[in-house]
Amino acid sequence: MQIYYNSSLKPFHTFSINQTADVIIEVFSVEEVKDVFRNDKWRGLPKLVLGKGSNVLFTEHYRGVVIINRIMGINVREDDSFYYLNVAGGEDWPLLVEHTVKKGIAGLENLAMIPGCVGSAPVQNIGAYGLEFKDICEYVEYVNTETQDMVQLSARECQFGYRDSVFKHSLKTKAFVTSVGLKVSKRYVPLLDYGPLRSLASDSSCQKIFDVICKVRSEKLPDPIVSGNAGSFFKNPVVTSDRFDLLRQQYPDIVHYHTSNGMKLAAGWLIEQCGLKGLCIGGAKVHPKQALVLVNENNATSADVINLALHVRSQVYERYGVMLEHEVRFMGETGEVFLDKFMDSKIERS
């Protein structure tokens, strides 16, 4: 266990914005996790669990304990039909996908280069190119932060939705994900229905798909080491079929995808069509190649990012009547906050 007091969060989140926290603790085992939540010294303080910090924006000093998941380990077994992986929560997700591809274990490749750690994947139900975490999840194991008991949930019990799960609702602040169980079939069927994958042969290997996705992501998405960012800033909005028909009458080229509960629109396309690529507010910028990503271009403050996000959202709503919802989690002084909190006035740069 490594403990830091009144320290900068900059090294612990990919936006690389210089906010601070009362306490930052790196944990390397399940027992250390339990010790943190049992410790009387921190019992009354708010607590936030982070992995790679790839989906969070700290809006101000965090008056609590930030716990960094460093639990490591990958175990693989198989039978005639499936591969079964038990992966510790602190493992790096992109490295896990790369590892499985190199081992010839197909099924995760569509989720290549999604930043973050394994423990964050079920919380967000990460997804890309037609695959979501829920499609390969068998179970999730976590420490109950109130009782310190170990709990295992089936994929069904995780109540996965679009960028959603039980860990954002009834188990919010109550679960520290220690490992996940993944299950992929040996009867490999490539998922080729999205974007650049559509041009691939139907018998393409997982390595081929992995390579294509990595190339596309590397070309379009900024490296957080160079330009701090949290990946896709906004969710792709879902509208009713009737609402979509009206939009398509006005905008025939609108990018969309069919879903079970309506029509999903491409948030990046909406932002780009508003002419917002490359727009800067303070040190924050709409990425010039991928409008869905907001970047820390020049020592941005959290206020810069928030004001830019507000402007982007208002412009999209004004033009299309579609309200974007941020995918990035906003963390305030003692817990999660939302963009609506800041919408009535431009906040001060600090």
* CA–CA dist 153, 239 (Å, integer): 31
Closest by alpha carbon to 197, among 69, 110, 313? 110
Catalytic pick from 325, 327, 336, 349?
327
Q: Which amino acid, one-letter code, is at 47? A: K
Catalytic pick from 91, 232, 302, 313?
232
Is 232 labeled as catalytic in the residue annotation?
A: yes
- Site of tokens 């939540």: 37
Structural contact between residues 230 and 55, judged by C-beta atoms closer than 8 angstroms: yes
Is 163 labeled as catalytic in the residue annotation?
A: yes
Adjacency order of strands within the sheet including 284-286: 228-232, 293-296, 284-286, 280-281
Q: Which residues does 68 contact at the CB level (< 8 Å), separation at least 6?
A: 12, 24, 25, 26, 27, 50, 51
In 3-state terms, what secondary structure has residue 289? coil
* CA–CA dist 11, 128 (Å, integer): 26
Could you tell me the sign of the dihedral formed by the alpha carbons of 45, 49, 53, 54, in that order? Answer: negative
* CA–CA dist 31, 239 (Å, integer): 45
- The CA-to-CA distance between both ends of the chain, in Å, stands at 32
The structure tokens listed for 63 are: 């008056």
Neighbouring-strand partners of residue 280: 285
b/e for 292-307, b at 16 or more Cβ within 10 A?
A: bbbbbbeebbbbbbbb
Neighbouring-strand partners of residue 285: 280, 295
Structural contact between residues 117 and 93, judged by C-beta atoms closer than 8 angstroms: yes
Structural contact between residues 319 and 273, judged by C-beta atoms closer than 8 angstroms: yes
Catalytic pick from 70, 163, 313, 329?
163
Which residues are marked as active site?
Answer: 163, 232, 327
